[in-house]
């Protein structure tokens, strides 16, 4: 006899439970569990453990042909960089981000570029009226003729893809897509099955498809986790200061971790071609406590400013305030400065900041933190042509970091002619310890003041 099993699924993160819970143990959301339609398991047949079912056809790996996935440029170089070279025919991309951050704006710009290049674009508007999209298109200067629909039934969208075979299909958003017989829109089963159906349609028609996804309070895509496994690429749009960062966290057709930088203007999201110059544009020159650091965010090298300030504390215990960096790593660097360089920090409040609003957990910023704090305490500014990177160990040694050559090349392109870095780079005299680094920075004016 067939038997059915009932399970409850968190609508925020997809966590499953045999009974409804008031609070999700995975994402801590309250009252987020919904009952999912019971699945029916058939009884075993008499033909053995699998009911006499014959297995499918096997294909040797050597018999599988090689095929390069064709790509279409989005018309926006920063987006092509994040996607690994452009939109892949038949590839499905999931884009997440906070409400109002610019997801729809960016995708409407992409749709305009693809349509101008001769490709048909299908835009599924699940959250806005067609008139609202027209108003945004006028503001962004969109002149291409896009194909719009308010029909969010997954079966109908798949049929439109099969009929018109567009080069690009944008679904805004996947939480508004419905599948017949699966309950209310936005439910776990609806989102999961809708994603699966549209992905299958994209593969069959060769349509590059972008799904916009809502995010939860902790910034992850709302819905079952299996949705992120179904799609080929997952990207997130986030706000950092005056900029928008587009970051890839999964990419079957390219390298994950790529980063694109945009700036929101009246005409839409504009790509920032030189992020290093943008983040260093307001850096004060000749001020103690300011150091230019070459870092890696994802797979992208950038130059950022590490700032430090030290002041006499009025409290019994000195304060340590860190913004944008790992506070535990900064504590380690401060301990090394006190122990290895005899720098007195016990009576000082120390503030360390990564300017620009970025949060970068890069060990290669250790040496920049050390020099910034030292500069702030002794009151001596670093020369303006110095860039720094390197990890600091507990013995005061300066260790090598990942992508050292790419960091050095980025510093060279920005005009920084002196590098204070670990040994190993051709043509650069590296430093082996924090003491050597301090001596190398202020060698011309004497070691320590």
CA distances from 80 to 27, 73, 106, 133, 275 (A): 32, 7, 13, 24, 16
Residue 55 DSSP class: P
Q: Is 100 annotated as a binding residue?
A: yes
Residue 48 has what pLDDT? Answer: 52
Residue 212 has what pLDDT? Answer: 94
Strand partners, 264: 269
Q: Which two tokens stand for residue 249?
A: 């966290």
Round to whole Å and give the CA distance between 379 and 159.
Answer: 69
Q: Is 257 annotated as a binding residue?
A: no
Q: What is the pLDDT of residues 231-248, one digit of tens each?
A: 999 999 998 888 999 999
Task: Encode 297-335: b = buried (16+ Cβ within 10 Å), e = exposed.
Answer: bbbbbbbbbbbbbbeeeeeeebeeebebbbeebbebbbe
Round to whole Å and give the CA distance between 49 and 43.
Answer: 10
φ/ψ of 123, rounded to 5, equals -115, 115
Close Cβ partners of 393 (under 8 Å, ≥ 6 residues apart): 336, 399
Round to whole Å and give the CA distance between 352 and 375.
Answer: 12
Residue 71 has what pLDDT? Answer: 86
Residue 182 has what pLDDT? Answer: 64
254, 302, 252: which is closest to 279 by C-alpha? 302
Burial class (CB in 10 A: 0-12, 13-18, 19+), 195: buried
Q: Is the dihedral of CA 316, 317, 318, 324 positive or negative?
A: negative
Contact 73, 86 (CB under 8 A): yes
Q: Is 19 annotated as a binding residue?
A: no
φ/ψ of 104, rounded to 5, equals -65, -35
pLDDT < 70 regions, the chain: 1-5, 37-55, 182-183, 218, 224, 444-449
Task: Encode 39-60: b = buried (16+ Cβ within 10 Å), e = exposed.
Answer: eeeeeeeeeeeeeeeeeeeeee
Round to whole Å and give the CA distance between 234 and 97.
Answer: 11
Q: Which two tokens stand for residue 330?
A: 């900064």
| Region class of 345: left (phi > 0), else alpha (psi between -120 and 50), else beta | alpha
Round to whole Å and give the CA distance between 429 and 418.
Answer: 10
Task: Give me the residue label for tokens 């360390």.
Answer: 352
Residue 335 has what pLDDT? Answer: 96
Q: Is 131 annotated as a binding residue?
A: no
Q: Is 43 annotated as a binding residue?
A: no
Residue 445 has what pLDDT? Answer: 44
Say what angle helices 327-340 and 434-441 make with each other, to 10 degrees. Answer: 80
Q: Is 288 annotated as a binding residue?
A: no
Q: Is 327 annotated as a binding residue?
A: no
φ/ψ of 360, rounded to 5, equals -125, 110
Residue 82 half-sphere exposure, CB side, CA atoms within 13 Å? 25
Strand partners, 96: 213, 236
Burial class (CB in 10 A: 0-12, 13-18, 19+), 108: buried
Element (H, E) at 297: strand 290-297
Burial class (CB in 10 A: 0-12, 13-18, 19+), 390: buried
Q: Is 128 annotated as a binding residue?
A: no
Round to whole Å and give the CA distance between 282 and 262.
Answer: 18
Q: What is the pLDDT of residues 65-97, one digit of tens each?
A: 877 777 889 999 999 999 999 999 999 999 999
Round to whole Å and give the CA distance between 392 and 400.
Answer: 9
């Amino acid at each position: 006899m067939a038997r059915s099993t009932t399970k409850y699924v968190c609508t925020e993160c997809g966590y499953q439970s045999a009974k409804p819970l008031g609070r999700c143990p995975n994402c801590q959301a309250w009252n987020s569990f919904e009952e999912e339609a019971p699945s029916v398991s058939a009884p075993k047949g008499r033909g053995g453990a699998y009911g006499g079912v014959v297995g499918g056809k096997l294909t040797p790996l050597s018999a599988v042909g090689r095929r390069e996935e064709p790509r279409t440029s989005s018309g926006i170089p920063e987006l092509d960089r994040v996607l690994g070279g452009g939109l892949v025919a038949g590839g499905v991309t999931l884009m997440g981000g906070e409400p109002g951050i610019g997801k729809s704006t960016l995708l409407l710009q992409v749709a305009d570029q693809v349509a101008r290049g001769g490709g048909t674009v299908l835009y599924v508007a699940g959250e806005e009226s067609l008139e609202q999209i027209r108003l945004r298109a006028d503001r962004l200067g969109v002149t291409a003729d896009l194909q719009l629909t308010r029909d969010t039934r997954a079966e109908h969208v798949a049929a439109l893809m099969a009929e018109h075979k567009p080069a690009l299909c944008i679904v805004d958003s996947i939480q508004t897509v419905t599948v017949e017989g699966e309950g209310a829109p936005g439910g776990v089963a609806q989102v999961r099955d809708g994603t699966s159906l549209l992905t299958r349609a994209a593969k069959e028609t060769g349509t590059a498809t972008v799904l916009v996804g809502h995010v939860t309070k902790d910034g992850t895509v709302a819905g079952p986790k299996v949705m992120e496994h179904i799609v080929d690429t997952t990207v997130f749009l986030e706000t950092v200061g005056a900029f928008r960062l587009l970051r890839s966290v999964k990419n079957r057709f390219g390298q994950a971790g790529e980063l694109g930088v945009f700036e929101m203007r009246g005409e839409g999201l504009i790509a920032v071609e030189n992020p290093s110059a943008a983040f260093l544009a307001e850096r004060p020159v000749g001020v103690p406590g300011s150091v230019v650091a070459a870092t890696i965010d994802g797979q992208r090298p950038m130059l950022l400013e590490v700032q430090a300030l030290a002041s006499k504390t009025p409290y019994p215990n000195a304060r340590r305030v860190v913004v944008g960096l790992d506070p535990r790593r900064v504590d380690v660097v401060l301990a090394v400065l006190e122990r290895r360089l005899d720098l007195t920090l016990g009576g000082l409040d120390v503030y360390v900041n990564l300017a620009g609003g970025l949060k970068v957990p890069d060990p290669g910023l250790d040496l920049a933190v050390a020099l910034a704090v030292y500069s702030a305490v002794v009151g001596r500014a670093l020369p303006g042509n110095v860039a720094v990177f390197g990890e600091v160990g507990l013995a005061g040694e300066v260790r090598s970091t990942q992508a050292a050559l790419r960091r050095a090349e980025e510093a060279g392109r920005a005009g920084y002619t002196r590098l204070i870095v670990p040994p190993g780079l051709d043509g650069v005299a590296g430093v082996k310890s924090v003491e050597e680094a301090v001596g190398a920075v202020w060698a011309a004016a004497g070691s320590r003041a």
